[in-house]
Structure 1
């Protein structure tokens, strides 16, 4: 699914602190600038706690018909979110998924999955990937030309083709360029790895800690992946517009 081709899955950040929820939206927005990200933090009086009304309104605002993923910081926030979902019409409840995942890492991964056009299952899987080892990701994060889920790369398979480039941007593959890289990688239906990890997994890419001057090997088990590898290599060598 191409970015911008259809309404995206919405993401709701639920926290006991209004400032934390707003901050998480601000953080995720750096990597998912057009995704529908809504904060639902604090009580109705701006105190510490959760609000049924805030969460209900956030779910409604986030849902454009493709569903909503809700991430929460503490157990009582989950209970409030579940209550808000239970008060929805039965036809709407199935579109709201309350995901048990780390609020920061899972939220950022979910936001990027929504940004690149992932469906509800893909966005949930992206959030849950924060629990998984980052050396190998086997989660549905994009779709191939037939509409079927394209899964992450098994890094244990030998590469058929590869190209190595050097990072030139001063801060390396930090959050914003990593998200830009993953967005591009997710448009291709061929399997690609970056230094042995799935090129379409934001958390896996960021876990590599690639700094300026790092050697980056782009590889694939598919001989038809050259155009994808070259496009990704060109992006890395562009410096992402950074000085």
Structure 2
């Protein structure tokens, strides 16, 4: 089972579009749109949010992201009507709907628990502090690779990169940024032709660096 996500927006088109976007990077995550009113107007619906929570939570919990204050009120009301057991598994996160939603979806795809998914969403509230550059010496390792895919590290390849990085326990950076942070990687602006230094100070991190460097060098399978 996987943590599910519910996107609550005043617009059905916004919520549906976010599900479509996030699904490109998190195909195995339950992604539910709860946008608009019952009759398709602008606003929020208690019934739509309640139904979405029920679908999103398959036992591992769910995270809810909202676009405006009244959407949060609707989500909170829906939570009040859940039984105690399910309510304990569902969390409303204060984070930007789009950026937070995408980051949360990728975290859920990599197997993070509810709190880990929520933490990923919150990284969108501001730029996380940049980790210190690893001291690459006798106990460190790095590779520099050139981005070759046409559109660079846009959303889908960046998500693939983060998913792979998350399979390794070693701490790895890309141009000084956390390799497991989707938003940090996308913020690097690594377009075609730019170099990416993938590095680790972890003595056991060589395999992670090589795998990530090979992925970038492959062009992510894009033409």
Aligned residues: 220
2:193 aligned partner: 213
Structure 1: 5+ residue stretches without partners: 1-6, 137-153
Per the alignment, residue 190 of structure 1 pairs with: 170
- How far apart are the structure 2 equivalents of 1:211 and 1:32? 23
Runs of at least 4 residues off by over 3 Å? none
Structure 2 residue runs without a partner (length 5+): none
In structure 2, distance between residues paired with 1:172 and 1:38: 29
Q: In structure 1, how many angstroms separate the alpha carbons of the residues matched to 2:182 and 2:217?
A: 19
Establish whether residue 31 from structure 1 lines up as the match of residue 25 from structure 2: yes
Distance between the aligned counterparts of 2:110 and 2:55, measured in 1?
20
| d(CA) in 1 for partners of 2:174, 2:11 | 37
- 1:156 shift after superposition: 4.3
* Cα distance in 2 for residues equivalent to 1:176 and 1:156: 26
In structure 1, distance between residues paired with 2:129 and 2:84: 40
- How far apart, CA to CA, are the structure 2 residues paired with 1:241 and 1:157? 29
2:66 and 2:157 map into 1 onto residues whose CA distance is 26
User: For residues 135 and 181 of structure 1, what CA distance do their matches in structure 2 show?
Assistant: 20
Pair 1:161 & 2:155 matched: no
> How far did 1:157 drift?
4.4
Matches within 5 A, 1:114-193: 114-134=108-128, 136=130, 154-159=131-136, 160-193=140-173
Secondary structure of the corresponding residue to residue 33 of structure 1: coil
Moved more, 126-135 or 48-57: 126-135
Deviation of 1:161 after TM superposition, in Å, equals: 1.5
Q: Secondary structure at the match of 1:224?
A: coil
Q: Deviations over 1:166-196 (max 9, x none)?
A: 1111111100000000000000000000000
The TM-score normalised by the length of structure 2 is: 0.96
